[in-house]
Amino acid sequence: MPEYAIAKAKAGKGKKGKSSSDDFRRFESLIGSRSTKQLGSAVLQLLLPLTLILHFVEGDSVPPSYILPLYSGLYYSFCNLPESVTDVLEDETLEAAQHVCRQRWLGTSRKVGLRHALHCAVFMLDPYVRSAIRVALGAAYLAHIDGTFTIDQVHAAFQNWNNGKVDSRYARLLSEFEKYQAEEGDYKKKLEGVHVVVKLRIAKVVSRLPDDEKSNQALVILRVLQALSEFGKASTFWKSLPKSTPDRVLFLSMVTDMHAAVNHACGVERVNKNHQLVHTKERASMGEERVMRAVYCYSNLMLDRKPKIPFEQFLESTLPEEEQEELFDSLQFEVAQQNLPASGQAQLRSASDSEEESEDDGGSEDQAAEMDVDDFVVPKGFTLVPKPVGLLQGVEDLRELYAMMLWDHVESRTCIWEVGKVQKFAGRRRRHNYDILWSEGLRGSHLALDKYVNVDDEQHELGDWVYLRKND
């Protein structure tokens, strides 16, 4: 509010640098007045659902089936505001807010509203969303949302997917859709399973909502869908259905395409921003074709020059240890892919792998040649730790503890010894039991006692390692 800015600016100093007590008291009475607090609370109740919903749907991962229930609930809340809002805000303000929401929801003139055919169809074809709303707000509210559009709008989306034709193919889509609505055959068991899962999880979400959010349908739907996105997806439901008939196959193809629709224009906005950077006033004489080529090059070169990090390093920087292990196991990484290369742009492969590749490809003599192995020498400033009975893992044991391992350096065709600082022991991991700071950064590594170096051996294999301690 302008009064806040004026009062705060004058509260500090007067004309000659002296404090202005009158302005300070005015500022204090302004922020402490009951009417101002009521006005701020009313504005917050009016705009909070809107801002939270806008922030939620602007991402790339929100399914299109979320749009209709979210904005239907928002439109309903704008039309049924509590007395704490209607008694404080002026009628003109309320009418203006409702008019803006109505325009975005229903659309005006050539502007397409959010209640269009695609959003209606994907909402009808998302059993998780429908079940979640029925659990959270009741079957009557779900029927209310269904009443905000007609079945003709759903059929219009089917027709649009069918290239606008009303033919036998379109009739097959309607027939299969009726079977889904009637919960016939395979649909019945699948829908019952969805409802049971949703009921168990969403009921807990609703019970934990604050009282002020439970009274606002838009906020309830938002919180429910935020929780639903973590475990229930319509795409999973439809992919699990057996493709028993040709009509089912056709229907699943349409449903998959509809649920893959993009809700946002982020890609267009990014291109427009790049266009503004490329087509400046100094380059206003460039033709349309050259501008398009320049924008294409700029956009793709920016993506190409982004720093590329190994997939494992990205996971370790973003996920907890338990989730890392679960994902690693599902992808079935090779052990060699999870250890750190020696240095530089070294690739993780063993000498035996190189020989096999050269034999399979009929490679040159250079590819088939054996790689040189550096001699094992304890670096200056370090002391070799004799082979312990078990892996060192205590806090005192890890202090000033280093690891040296033999790795394949492809560029120099030499197996070299790399030294890294041991940061911590992670014994619960199945593959990475240590975090080690190597020359390329902190990485998870695997150390096994059966690969511990025997200093009496003259030859060493890739992956052999030892503990080192730094001299005082």
Residues 250 and 339 in one domain: no
Q: What SS3 class is residue 27?
A: helix
- Residue 393: inside a domain, yes or no? yes
pTM of the model: 0.56
φ, ψ of residue 284 to 5 degrees: the values are: -65, -15
Residues 359 and 240 in one domain: no
- Residue 270: inside a domain, yes or no? no
- Residue 437: inside a domain, yes or no? yes
Residues 244 and 345 in one domain: no
Nearest-5° angle of CA 344, CA 346, CA 349?
Answer: 165
Residues 40 and 171 in one domain: yes
- Residue 430: inside a domain, yes or no? yes
Residues 65 and 197 in one domain: yes
Residues 250 and 103 in one domain: yes
Total number of domains constituting the chain: 2
Q: What is the pLDDT of residue 258?
A: 92
Q: How many helices (H) and strands (E) does the chain have?
A: 23, 7
- In 183-216, alpha helices (H): 186-207, 211-214
Q: What SS3 class is residue 356?
A: helix
Confidence of residue 21 (pLDDT cuts 50, 70, 90): low
Q: pLDDT tens digits for 335-385?
A: 333 333 333 333 333 334 444 444 444 443 444 345 667 788 888 888 898
Higher pLDDT, 429 or 379: 379
Question: Percent of the chain beyond pLDDT 70?
Answer: 76
State which of 259, 275, 300 marks the end of a domain.
259
Q: Which domain holds residue 350?
A: 335-470
At residue 123, does pLDDT exceed 80?
Answer: yes
State which of 217, 240, 259 marks the end of a domain.
259
Q: What is the pLDDT of residue 249?
A: 93
Q: pLDDT tens digits for 266-307?
A: 667 777 787 778 877 777 788 888 888 888 888 888 777 666
DSSP string covering 360-428: HHT--HHHHSPPEEPPP-PPTTEEEPPPPSS---SHHHHTTEEEEEEEEETTTTEEEEEEEEEEEE-TT
Beta bridge partners of residue 466, listed in sequence order: 404
- Residue 315: inside a domain, yes or no? no
- Residue 330: inside a domain, yes or no? no
Report d(CA 446, CA 37) in Å as an integer: 60
